[in-house]
Structure 1
C-alpha cells in the first residue's frame, strides 16, 4: 500500500489566479490541476478560495479554582441556525503581520477579557476548513487567576461587544456534550482540558 502524503505542494499546478472580491476578507478564484492517485492528471478545474489570515485562540483556565473564562459575542455565521447567534467561545484574535501567536494571545486576553496569562502552552494547530479557506488556528491553554475575572469588554471602534463569563470547568465541558458550545476551537480546547485537568490541578498542589 502507498503511504499517505505521496504528493506535496509542488505537485499542484496553478494555471491562473485572480481576486474576485476584496473587502474585510478576500476571495480568489483559481484554475488548477494536480496528479491523481491512479496516475492520471486531473483536468483543469476551478475553485474559489476564501483568503483569511491565521488566528490564535486561547482557553483561559484557573487550575486552583477549576474555572474557565469563556467570552460571549454575536457571530454572523450562526444566523439562520436553530440556535442563538451569540456564542460562547475562547479568547481569540487574528494574527497581524509581524505578530507571533503568543503575541496575539496576550493582546486578545487583555482586550476581550481583561486577563493576563501566567504562562501559555500550545494545544495544537489546525486548518479550519481547508476545502475552501486558508485559515490556520493556533490553539493554546493559558493559565490564569480567575478571582476577579468576568465583565464587559471589546473595542468599540472594532464593533466588539463582549461579555466574559467565569464558569466551572465541569459546566463548560457539559455545554459541549449538550450542544450549547458548538464551535470547533472551544470544543477542541475543552476536550483537551477534560483530559488534562488532573495533571494541571495536581501541579497546583505541589
Structure 2
C-alpha cells in the first residue's frame, strides 16, 4: 500500500507546532483517498521505568499538567520523561531528564520499546527505557529546570503497592505501559 504527503506546512507555531498537509493513501479496497490532515508536532520523547533496588521502589514524578485540567485533574503521577533536543540520542536524553527531574545519575538505560503516543493526531514517538539505581545515585536536587517553569516532585512507590497505584492513581499511558511491563518482568522472574 502506498501514500503520499503534499503541501505540508506549519499552520501554528508556538511552544508546539501544528502541521497541515494533503495526504493521499491507498485503501484496503484497492482505491485511494485524498484528504487534508492536521498533526500535533511536539517532537519525540523519552520515558523510563526507574527501579530503586535498595528500597524496592519505582521512582515516579508528580507535576502539574495543564491539559489534564480539561478533565478536572492537574497533578499527574508519571514516569520520568522528557523531550528529545535536536541531535540528542534517546539514551542521552533520558539520562539528562532523570538528573534534571529526580537528581539521580543513571548508567546504561535499557531500551524496552518505542511507540506512538497518539498516532491519530500526534507525530510524537516515545522511547521507553528501564534502569536500576541505588538511593546513593541521587546526587543532585532534581525538581526540574526552573527556567522551564518545572516544579517536579519525586514519588517513590513500593513495588508491593504498584498494582494498587495502577488501579487507582495512574492515568498516564506511558506510565501504565511501563509499570505493566515492570510487573510482568517481576512475575516472570519469580516463575523462573
TM-score (norm 1): 0.84
Matched, 1:135 2:124: yes
- In 2, Cα distance between equivalents of 1:110 and 1:152: 6
Can you give the 5+ residue segments of structure 2 that lack an aligned partner in the other structure?
Answer: none
Matched, 1:45 2:35: yes
Q: Is contact 2:99-2:142 (8 Å) kept?
A: no
Aligned residues: 190
Note the C-alpha offset of 1:138. Answer: 0.2
Alpha-carbon distance change, 148 to 165 in structure 1, aligned in 2, over 3 angstroms: farther
The answer to whether the 8 Å contact 1:63/1:200 transfers is no
Distance in 2 between the 1:76 and 1:94 partners? 17
In the alignment, does 2:123 pair up with 1:123? no
1:196 is the counterpart of 2:182: no
CA distance in 2 between counterparts of 1:79 and 1:57 reads: 22
Residues 105, 137 of structure 2: 8 Å contact kept: no
Q: Which moved more, 1:60-69 or 1:131-140?
A: 60-69
Larger radius of gyration: 1
For residues 29 and 117 of structure 1, do their structure 2 counterparts lie closer, same or farther at Cα, with a shift above 3 Å needed? same
Residue of structure 2 equivalent to 1:167: 157
Q: 1:148 to 1:125 in 2, by over 3 A?
A: closer
Closer, same or farther: CA 155–197 of 1 in aligned 2, 3 Å: same
Q: What is aligned with 1:103?
A: 92
Structure 1, unmatched stretches of 5+, are 1-6
Residue by residue over 1:3-46, the C-alpha shift from the partner in whole angstroms, topping out at 9 and shown as x without a partner, is xxxx2xxx21223222111111111111121111111121x211
CA RMSD of aligned residues (A): 2.2
Give the 3 Å change call, closer, same or farther, for CA 18–76 of structure 1 in structure 2: same
TM-score by structure 2 length? 0.90
Matches of residues 17-28 of structure 1 in structure 2 within 5 Å?
Answer: 17-28=8-19
Note if contact 1:13-1:32 (Cα within 8 Å) is conserved in structure 2: yes
Deviation string for 1:50-96 (max 9, x for gaps)?
Answer: 112100101110234321111100001101214x3100111111111
Is residue 51–residue 135 contact of structure 1 (8 Å, CA) maintained in 2?
yes
Task: Please identify runs of 4+ aligned residues in structure 1 that moved more than 3 A.
Answer: 147-152, 198-202
Displacement of 1:129 in angstroms is 0.7
